[in-house]
Structures are given as structure tokens and as C-alpha cells.
């Protein structure tokens, strides 16, 4: 550090605005602000009077002329420089600014040796390297602490600096807030529970509705059905089985617990009509032909019993020259479908 300052012209230029302080009185210009005083240095040295201080302070009057020749090339020996400065200043104006600062460091380093001739200039103090380092370290620490403190003040909500009453108040507020939040939490929890409940209730209701729809669909004939039941074939070789006989069979089957049935691929529903003449019967307007094949789901025994009951369907058909063949089955499939009768006038009654 110190060598840099001594060896070159830029050194002093940089030092001037730095922390080193120059007491500029001798040459007038420097009495004012920083830049001015910095500027004051070189003119002081460059000017002829500048040489006056220089020659004097030489503490060790070494053989001046000899180093002078070597000096411009390598300006290392600090002690030799001041000596070199005097001759150099005289001949070369260019050299002058370079060497002017050099005597200064020597005086500053000692910090004491006021030259006899110019006591005023003696007060020019070049920077002591130790001081420079100290100043640098101190300002570095200051900057560091400053930044850290700013960050810290940002981070913390100034709780550390708060008084006890404030802290107590803040604590109370936080407690109240916690209480509020807890209340909200409980509310939300119960809402969640309700929603879950209603969700499961809705699912149950949906399931029930689906089952009802299925049951109604089976009864109505809009969906296919399967289950235990029986297969009954009514032969009518003489075309004498009439509407009343077939209707009677359907009613008897229903009475015996038939749940759904089809006759010759026509599904029998609540509003099914049997029309036509014997041998030319129609079910819901669709013609059916003998032998009439009846597929019915229900309790097989009950239905067979109902068919064979004296004075029942079998007997009447036999009386007309026909016959009834009944086959019980564990698995009867009724897969003919009906169009759903959409009520035109009736609508579900609302309870409200």
C-alpha cells in the first residue's frame, strides 16, 4: 500500500480525495473543500516554491545526485526518494509531480518530523498504513453492522425493542386471535361433518331411488327382469280361447303373486289391454298367435297352483279344446320391454 503511494503520481492523486488530510495553507488554493485540497497538492509540488520544502526535510542526506539518476527507472528505496526529489524537481517538470508526494510520505510516516524550514508543510500528513487499515476495517465493520441491523429491523416486528406492557398487550391480542381462529376451526369442522353426512345421506337416498326406479321399472315393464318363475304354454288348436280367458289367466297369475310377465314377446304391464277375437287376439294392439307362450316371474308353486285350481284357467282352456303346459323354472328371463306410459294429466303431488 504505502509503496504504491510513494512510487507513482497516481498514488497521491488517489490519496488526496481519500482520508488523508492535507493542510493546505502555504499555497492558498487549498483552504476549501475536498477536491480543492486534493488539487492543491500537485500544484504545490510542481510550482517552484514546492521545492523549498522538499530539500529541507531530508532526514538522511545521502548522496543525492547518484540515486537521482537511477530514480526515475525504479523508485523503490523510500529513504532515497526524498533525496532524489530535489534534483529531479529542478530539471524536469514532468518528474516533479511524481516526486513531490514522495517527501510527503516520509514526513507523514514519522508523523512528527517537522522540517525546520517549513513548519507549515510539516503538518501535511501522509497516511500511515496502519491508520488506513484501521479506517478501512472500521468502516467495513460499520457497513456490515449497518446492513445487518437494517435486515434485522426488517425481519423482526420490533418485538425485541417493545416494552413489557406492549408485549403483554400483543400477547393478549394473539390469544384473542387464537381463540377466534379456534372458533373458526370448529365451525369449519362441523360444516365439513355436515357436508359429509349430507353427502352420505344423498348417496343413500340416491341408492334407494335407484332401487325404487328398478322395482318400478320391473313392474312397469320398462326394464328386463329375471328370476324364478314358470313358463306356461297355452295351446289353442280350435282358435276358441278368447279375450276373457287370457285376461283371466293374467289376473290369476297376478293374484298368485306374479311380479312381471310377457306373452309372446309382449310385456304385460299395468295398463295392458287384451283385445280381438278368439284366434286373432291382440295384446296392447300387437297380434299374438297360438300357442301363447307366457313367461312369468313369481313364486312358481303358487302360480302353478293358481292355474290348476278347479274352475281356474287350465280347466277353462281345456273346456275350449285347448291345453295348458306349465314348466316351473328357477331362472326365467322376461326381456320384452314396454314403452313407459308418461302420465299426461297427473303429476306428483307436492307436499308443500
Partner 1 sequence: MIPILGLAAGVLLGLFFDPTVPLWLQPYLPIAVVAALDAVFGGLRARLDGIFDAKVFVISFVSNVVVAGLIVFLGDQLGVGAQLSTAVVVVLGIRIFGNAAAIRRHVFRA
CB of 134 to partner 1, least distance (A): 5
Identify the bridge partners of residue 264 per DSSP, sorted by sequence position: none
Nearer to partner 1, 162 or 247 (CB): 162
Footprint of partner 1 on 99-128 (CB under 8 A): 125, 127-128
- Binding test (CB under 8 A) with partner 1, winner from 61, 161, 343, 348: 161
CB of 89 to partner 1, least distance (A): 25
Q: What are residue 292's phi and psi, to 5 degrees? A: -85, 120
167 lies in the binding site for partner 1 (CB under 8 A): no
**Per CB under 8 A, which region of 19-27, 83-91, 98-106, 223-231 contacts partner 1?**
19-27
**Four-point Cα dihedral 178, 184, 185, 190, nearest 10:** 150
Quote the CA–CA distance of 101 and 11 in Å, as a whole number.
8
Footprint of partner 1 on 22-81 (CB under 8 A): 22-24, 30-34, 37
Nearer to partner 1, 25 or 182 (CB): 25
**Per CB under 8 A, which region of 11-19, 53-61, 287-295, 307-315 contacts partner 1?**
11-19
5 lies in the binding site for partner 1 (CB under 8 A): no
Residues 237 and 292 sit within 8 Å (Cβ to Cβ): no
Residues 341 and 317 sit within 8 Å (Cβ to Cβ): no
CB of 131 to partner 1, least distance (A): 3
- Binding test (CB under 8 A) with partner 1, winner from 137, 208, 244, 273: 137
Concatenate the DSSP letters of all residues of 103-151 into one string: HHHHHHHHS----SS-HHHHT--PPPHHHHHHHHHHHHHHHHHHHHHHH
Q: Is the dihedral of CA 55, 93, 97, 120 positive or negative?
A: positive
142 lies in the binding site for partner 1 (CB under 8 A): yes
- Binding test (CB under 8 A) with partner 1, winner from 76, 151, 172, 177: 151
Nearer to partner 1, 169 or 210 (CB): 169
Quote the CA–CA distance of 129 and 307 in Å, as a whole number.
129
Size of the site for partner 1 (CB under 8 A): 43
Nearer to partner 1, 12 or 55 (CB): 12
Nearer to partner 1, 24 or 87 (CB): 24
Quote the CA–CA distance of 250 and 296 in Å, as a whole number.
10
Nearer to partner 1, 125 or 254 (CB): 125
- Binding test (CB under 8 A) with partner 1, winner from 47, 70, 79, 145: 145
Mapped onto helix, strand or coil, the DSSP state of residue 160 is: coil
CB of 27 to partner 1, least distance (A): 13
Element (H or E) spanning 334, and its range? strand 323-334
143 lies in the binding site for partner 1 (CB under 8 A): yes
Give the number of other CB atoms < 10 A from CB of residue 96.
22
CB of 29 to partner 1, least distance (A): 12
Nearer to partner 1, 31 or 174 (CB): 31
163 lies in the binding site for partner 1 (CB under 8 A): yes
Concatenate the DSSP letters of all residues of 263-306 into one string: ETTEEE-TT--EEEETTEEEETTEE--SSEEEEEES-HHHHHHH
Element (H or E) spanning 329, and its range? strand 323-334
**Per CB under 8 A, which region of 150-158, 224-232, 242-250, 299-307 contacts partner 1?**
150-158
Mapped onto helix, strand or coil, the DSSP state of residue 28 is: coil
Chain residues binding partner 1 by CB under 8 A are 14-15, 17-24, 30-34, 37, 125, 127-128, 131-132, 134-149, 151-153, 160-161, 163
Amino acid at each position: 500500500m504505502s509503496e504504491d503511494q510513494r512510487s507513482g503520481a497516481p498514488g497521491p492523486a488517489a490519496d488526496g480525495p481519500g482520508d488523508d488530510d492535507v493542510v493546505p495553507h502555504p499555497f492558498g488554493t487549498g483552504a476549501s473543500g475536498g477536491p480543492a485540497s486534493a488539487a492543491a497538492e500537485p500544484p504545490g509540488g510542481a510550482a517552484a516554491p514546492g521545492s523549498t520544502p522538499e530539500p529541507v526535510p531530508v532526514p538522511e542526506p545521502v548522496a543525492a545526485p547518484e540515486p537521482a539518476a537511477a530514480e526515475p527507472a525504479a523508485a523503490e528505496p523510500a529513504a532515497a526518494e526524498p533525496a532524489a526529489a530535489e534534483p529531479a524537481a529542478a530539471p524536469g517538470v514532468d518528474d516533479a509531480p511524481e516526486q513531490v508526494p514522495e517527501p510527503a510520505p516520509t514526513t507523514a510516516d514519522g508523523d512528527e518530523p517537522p522540517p525546520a524550514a517549513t513548519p507549515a508543510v510539516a503538518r501535511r500528513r501522509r497516511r500511515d498504513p496502519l491508520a488506513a487499515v484501521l479506517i478501512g476495517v472500521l468502516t467495513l465493520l460499520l457497513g456490515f453492522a449497518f446492513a445487518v441491523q437494517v435486515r434485522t429491523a426488517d425481519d423482526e416486528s420490533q418485538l425485541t425493542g417493545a416494552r413489557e406492557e406492549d408485549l403483554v398487550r400483543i400477547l393478549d391480542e394473539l390469544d384473542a386471535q387464537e381463540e377466534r381462529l379456534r372458533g373458526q376451526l370448529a365451525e369449519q369442522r362441523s360444516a365439513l361433518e355436515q357436508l359429509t353426512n349430507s353427502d352420505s345421506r344423498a348417496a343413500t337416498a340416491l341408492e334407494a331411488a335407484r332401487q325404487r326406479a328398478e322395482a318400478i321399472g320391473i313392474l312397469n315393464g320398462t326394464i328386463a327382469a329375471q328370476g324364478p318363475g314358470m313358463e306356461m304354454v297355452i295351446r289353442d288348436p280350435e282358435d276358441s280361447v278368447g279375450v276373457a280367458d287370457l285376461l283371466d289367466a293374467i289376473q290369476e297369475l297376478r293374484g298368485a303373486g306374479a311380479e312381471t310377465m310377457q306373452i309372446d314377446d309382449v310385456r304385460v304391464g299395468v295398463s295392458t289391454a287384451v283385445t280381438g277375437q278368439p284366434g286373432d287376439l291382440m295384446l296392447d294392439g300387437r297380434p299374438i298367435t297360438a300357442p301363447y307362450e307366457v313367461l312369468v316371474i313369481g313364486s312358481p308353486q303358487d302360480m302353478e297352483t293358481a292355474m290348476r285350481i278347479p274352475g281356474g284357467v287350465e280347466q277353462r282352456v281345456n273346456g275350449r279344446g285347448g291345453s295348458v303346459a306349465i314348466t316351473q323354472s328357477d331362472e326365467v328371463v322376461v326381456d320384452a320391454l314396454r314403452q313407459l306410459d308418461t302420465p299426461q294429466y297427473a303429476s306428483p303431488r307436492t307436499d308443500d
